[in-house]
Amino acid sequence: MRIAIGADHAGYPLKAHLVAYLEANGHAVDDVGTSSTEAVDYPPYCAAVGRRVADGRSDVGIVTGGSGQGEQLAANKVRGVRAALCNDLYTARMAREHNDANVLSLGARIVATGLAEEIVDLFLTTPFAGGRHERRVDQVMALEGFDLHEALYTTRAMRRVSADPIPTDVIERILDAAVRGPSGGNQQRFRFLTVTSASTKAQLAEWYAEGLAELNRTKYADVQAQIESADPADPEAALLTRMSSSSMWLAEHLGEVPLLLFVFGKEGGESSTFPALWNACLAARAEGVGTTITTLLRTHRAEVHDLLGVPDDGEWAMHAMVPMGYPLGRWGVAERRPAHESTYAERWGAAPDWRVDEPLWPPRHPTS
């Protein structure tokens, strides 16, 4: 395991001891300082540890100070960090098991070296319990505010979601953001309809399953054949298998999804409805709510219109549905073809004079 560690002057002796202890136990240690007991300010060292953990250069972080309190506060200001002050074994175990803490803070004036070693070992070896705690951790992380680039890079199809209801105030914020989306002539030619009724969702789920089965028999028949005959070790085949599996999961559990959001617009007017719908997805991501945009129910559009009471005057047509719920999986940067492979310069087919081989978010901090 690669561990980032930092301290101020008060925490330096314990840090030095832990560096030697961790290396002796086979861990790779990234020591960001400080390097003596000469008085220094702790925030830069704690931020450096936090950044290394947040951007993936280190698996876990440790910060030490006099009490560890200020160090914990400073590390937690780095987006993506969950720093826990643990000066006893129980807190260390709970910090990992229930809170998925990724930075450990220790008070060098409180914890002796022997106990510190035990706390570190417990922190490093206790797995996150997941389940209901994962949902709560996602909600905690949503409270820290949201970086626009994080929303753009990590908002992806989240088809596996829990049945836990979405609070009304969260729905309000999502839809208030949705209506801010751009529309042709600013006419806002879209309407949203939310569905939480169990009986309505059950009927929609039946039609959705029929639509997916038909799609797999026709348009995606070649894809299904490719999945069945593919080598499981082939990364592209594995990706197709995951996508197909998650699509089937949604079809089998659509009736349990807490909220189905429909968007309606004029026939052919998706240029107005889909920007608003994407606003809803980004806002949902900021709330820790998973979404996926699907047009599959268009195969039963007339039936859906009738079920939902949509006027039959032709003014409004269903464009898409978005199942929403708290994810059962983890957020992450979506796998995509690199930008330079999808972009031409000046003329069709002409490659740009730049390359983006890896996602540019999260940003790197090479000097930290």
Active site residues: 71, 98
Q: In DSSP terms, which residues pair with 65 in a beta bridge?
A: 107
- Cis status, amide bond into 34, omega within 30 of 0: yes
Where do the DSSP E strands lie in the chain?
2-7, 28-31, 60-65, 83-85, 103-107, 190-195, 259-265, 290-291, 317-325
| Helix (DSSP H) and strand (DSSP E) numbers for the chain | 13, 9
- Spatial separation of the C-alpha atoms in residues 19 and 27, rounded to whole Å: 9
CA–CA distance, 334 with 156 (Å, rounded to integer): 6
b/e map of 334-343 (b: 16 or more CB within 10 Å)?
Answer: eeeeeeeeee
Please, is 126 exposed, middle or buried when counting C-beta atoms within 10 Å of its C-beta (0-12, 13-18, 19+)? Answer: middle
Q: Strands 28-31 and 60-65, how do they pair?
A: unpaired
Helix 198-217 with 221-229: angle, nearest 10 deg: 80
The β-bridge partners of 106 are: 64
DSSP state of 165: P
Radius of gyration of the chain (CA): 25
How far is residue 229 CA from its own chain's centroid? 32
- Integer Cα distance of 65 and 67 in angstroms: 6
- DSSP codes joined into one string, 41-93: -SHHHHHHHHHHHHTTSSSEEEEEESSSHHHHHHHTTSTT--EEE-SSHHHHH
Distance, CA of 362 to CA of 360 (rounded, Å) = 6
3-state helix, strand, coil in the chain (%, to 5): 45, 15, 40
